[in-house]
Amino acid sequence: MSSIQTVKCPHCRKEAQLTGNPFRPFCSERCKMIDLGTWASEGYRIPGEKAPQHDDEESGEQ
């Protein structure tokens, strides 16, 4: 007995098959590319304070 495993697409929340789906865990190439674009434009961020900026000239290293 084989059951088809599905998950919810992380972008649109529609059901997406795991087996035989080249875009898994997404339901389509469109949802996959939208997610990639969000990563590329730094849309996903972890809240917190900014890291301090360091200049190589100030550290005295050559």
Residue 14 amino acid letter: K
Q: What's the fold here for domain 1-43?
A: Erythroid Transcription Factor GATA-1; Chain A (3.30.50)
- The phi and psi torsions of 38 (rounded to 5 degrees) equal -65, -40
**Average pLDDT by consecutive 10-residue portion of the chain (62 residues)?**
82 92 94 95 86 70 52
Query: pLDDT for 23-39, tens place per residue?
Result: 999 999 999 999 999 99
CA distance 7 to 36: 19
**pTM for this predicted structure:** 0.64
Coil, strand or helix at 7: strand
CA distance 45 to 3: 36
CA distance 4 to 46: 34
Residue ranges of domains in the chain = 1-43
